Amino acid sequence: MLFAETELPGAYFIDVEPREDERGFFARAWCREEFAKNGLEIEIAQCNLAYNHRAGTLRGMHFQSHPHAEVKLVRCTRGAVYDVVIDLRCESSTFMHWIGVELTEENRRMVYVPEGFAHGYQTLVDGTETFYQVSQPYVPEAGMGVRWDDPAFNIEWPPVDQRIISSKDQAWPDFTPAESLSP
C-alpha cells in the first residue's frame, strides 16, 4: 500500500499496490501493520456501505463529536465520487481548509479521514457505492455536520445538472470557528 499525506496534516490518500498475473491482480486494501507503521489509527469498530442511485447525490459534510469522534477510511467500490474533507481542528495550521479528490472503482484510491475532520462526497455517475471503515460505532446524538455549500469553506464541487441532498444535510447552520472539533 502507498501512503501519501495530503496538504492537510493527518489526512492521507492511500493507493493499493496490485500484484498482477494472468488471472488479474491481488492487493491489500487494509493492513494493521502498515497503518500502524505510518502512525494511523488501526481500530475498526464497524464498516459501512452507501449506495447512491443518481449522479449528483451529495452526502456530507459529516463528523461525530467527542467523545465519539471517528477516523474514516473511505473508498469507492462502484462508480465514482468527488470526495471532500475539511480540517475542523482549531489548533491546526490548515484549520477550515479542504481538499477534494476523485475516488473511482478504477483508481481504487482511499481517503484516510482523521478525527477532527468533516467528510462528504458527491457522486459523479449513477449507481455509485462507497465503503467506509470507521474507528467508532455510529452514535446518533454525536452526529454533526457542516453545510456542503457553507461560505466559510467555499468548496468547489463539480458542476451537476441536479444535486440530490437530504434535508438534514441542507439544514446545517453556518459554521463558526467556535464549533471546531478540537477536544
Say which of 12, 62, 119, 121 is annotated catalytic: 62
With H, G, I as helix, E, B as strand and everything else as coil, classify residue 167.
helix
For residue 82, indicate whether it is catalytic: no
Say which of 12, 82, 112, 132 is annotated catalytic: 132
DSSP code of residue 63 = E
- How far apart are alpha carbons 81 and 83 in whole angstroms? 6
- How far apart are alpha carbons 163 and 55 in whole angstroms? 8
What order do you get walking across the sheet with 12-15 strand by strand? 2-5, 12-15, 110-113, 72-78, 128-134, 46-52
For residue 66, indicate whether it is catalytic: no
Instruction: Identify which of 40, 133, 146, 128 has the alpha carbon closest to the alpha carbon of residue 88.
Output: 146
Q: Any idea which residues carry the catalytic annotation?
A: 62, 132
